Amino acid sequence: MSLPLRPLRLLLLGAPGAGKGTQTSKLLKHFTGLTPISSGDLLRKEIQTKSEIGNYAQDIIAKGQLLPDSLISGLVINELNNRNLLNKNSSWLLDGFPRTLPQAKILNEDLVSKASDLNLVVELKVPERVILERIENRWVHVPSGRIYNLQYNPPKQQGVDDVTGEPLSKRPDDNAEVFQKRLNAYNETVDPLKSYYKDLGVLHSVEGETSDIIFPKLLDFIQNKFN
């Protein structure tokens, strides 16, 4: 395990089910000192604790729609702040945020003022047919955000989180109808986002159907660029 020499401030972009959460867990095994923040996991925790934001977000997420830009930006930037990550020396990884151009601009304003702007954006490109197959087999442990897949990385004991022994659940937004809406939302918002990061010179992509293909590419890429 090693920490990248240069602070890494990474955004993983990718369609729902592309494997952002999965690649995040794999990266954490290689890089100590990299703090992950997933907007979806933050929201699911808010829902679980029945907070005001959670109650508001629950229906929107269940319908496969996006939350208002200002709300989700506030939530994630607040988390970055609370964890003391808004400085030029910290390394962190964002999963699921920003996912619209206005969100990217809000975040960038905050980061640039603290000399901690994103220095790498990687899009995970996975064919849609592969994604649809995966989602049916996904189970999650909400408190930790740990992800299992019945075919690809099953829990040691069926229906139970490996670390805590707590029950796993299906995400309510993982049924075929809602999932298609989430895919559509991604496809509608991603192009301006990619153009924005391309113009900033930080956009890259890795392509493949399985982690055996995607993960080594991602790891190589980060190690070459940041070591």
Where on the chain is the footprint of ligand AP5 (CB under 6 A)? 14, 16-22, 39-40, 43, 60-61, 64-67, 72, 96-97, 99, 103, 134-135, 137-138, 147, 149, 152-153, 173, 182, 210-211, 214
99 annotated as a binding-site residue: yes
64 annotated as a binding-site residue: no
* Residue 16 binds Mg ion, judged by CB under 5 A: no
Q: Which residue has the tokens 């395990």?
A: 1
Q: Find all residues with CB under 8 Å of 196, minimum gap 6, and list them.
A: 101, 104, 105
Helices and strands per DSSP (H, E), number in the chain: 8, 7
116 vs 139, beta carbon nearer Mg ion: 139
31 vs 215, beta carbon nearer ligand AP5: 215
40 annotated as a binding-site residue: no
* Residue 17 binds Mg ion, judged by CB under 5 A: no
- Coil/strand/helix, residue 93: strand
Q: How many CB atoms lie within 10 A of CB 119?
A: 18
Q: Which does 4 bind (CB under 5 to 8 A by kind): Mg ion, ligand AP5, none?
A: none
Name the residue with the smallest CB distance to ligand AP5. Answer: 40
* Residue 21 binds Mg ion, judged by CB under 5 A: yes
109 vs 115, beta carbon nearer ligand AP5: 109
Phi, psi (rounded to 5 degrees) for 93: -135, 125
Q: Where are the alpha helices (DSSP H) in 93-202?
A: 101-113, 128-136, 176-199
Distances (CA, A) of 57 to 44, 84, 171: 9, 25, 14
From the CB of 36, what's the least distance to Mg ion, in Å? 10
39 annotated as a binding-site residue: yes
- Coil/strand/helix, residue 91: strand
72 vs 77, beta carbon nearer ligand AP5: 72
* Under 8 Å between Cβ of 133 and 77: no
From the CB of 224, what's the least distance to Mg ion, in Å? 26
167 annotated as a binding-site residue: no
Cis peptide before 102 (omega within 30 of 0): no
* Under 8 Å between Cβ of 117 and 62: no
96 annotated as a binding-site residue: yes
From the CB of 5, what's the least distance to ligand AP5, in Å? 27
* Residue 195 in tokens: 């153009």
Annotated binding site: 17-22, 39, 44, 65-67, 96-99, 103, 138, 147-148, 171, 182, 211
Binding site for Mg ion (CB under 5 A): 21
Annotated binding site for AMP: 39, 44, 65-67, 96-99, 103, 171, 182
